[in-house]
Amino acid sequence: MSNALKVALIQTDLVWENPEENRRLLNDKIDTISTGVDLVVLPEMFTSGFTMNPTSVAETMDGKTLNWLKTKAKEKQVAIMGSLVISENKNFYNRMVCVEPSGNMTHYDKRHTFTLAGEHEVYSAGTEKVIFNYKGWKICPLVCYDLRFPVWARNVEDYDLLIYVANWPKIRIDAWDALLKARAIENMAYCIGVNRVGLDGNQYEYSGHSAAYDVLGNRIDTISESEVATEIVTLEKDSIEKYRKKLNFLNDRDDFNLLM
């Protein structure tokens, strides 16, 4: 178990529907990260941008990107996570994966497909909330539109860290800022959001606003708007335990079951 968890947030532009080029660019960015980092977080659909044309970019769980992630995680001795388009059982998924240096892998399929963009007509929605353990930290991975649905993120598992990856457009970025902070406060957990920058193939603009918040909703990163940047933040388990014990807010949460 590690009290401190060092997380690298990679806020970057993406090459539209070009997995090979995006792997190359992200490989270079990961190579610049100093030793001692535990976890690297990439944006949503990091191999393609937020495309509704999955047949052009979809891969399998033993495809080029997953094999690259496994190699990179082992080489750098760091866990790497982000989402990409996966084809499985004749369905397409917006799947968030986390590959650890050991080769152990966890995945989560985006629960809330973005109906405004027609994502629900192209991608199958996930049905399972996922909590995984890495270096003694309980981590909940979620994807973009999931951010708008607090019940799905509700911390009944006493997780330590909530991570969202996104292609969240500039036109609605105020909601992203407000909801990331709210998820940290209401769940008394660290909350990290990694969003892309630049223009996609549909000419939607993205302004980043990647951020990390502590359990009280204080921002602990310094990433600027619209910049291509990699920032390392240090999370401390003692801080979570201190404020949960002192304030006891999670003990007063309502008791109910989520029906699927």
Q: What residues are labeled active site?
A: 44, 110, 144
In the sheet that holds 91-99, the strands lie side by side as 105-109, 91-99, 79-88, 39-41, 4-11, 229-236
Q: How far apart are the C-alpha atoms of 235 and 260, rounded to whole Å?
A: 33
Helix (H) or strand (E) holding 183: helix 173-187
Taking the C-alpha atoms of 230, 223, 111 and 51 in order, what is their torsion angle to the nearest 10 degrees? -70
d(CA 11, CA 231): 8
CB 64 within 8 A of CB 23: yes
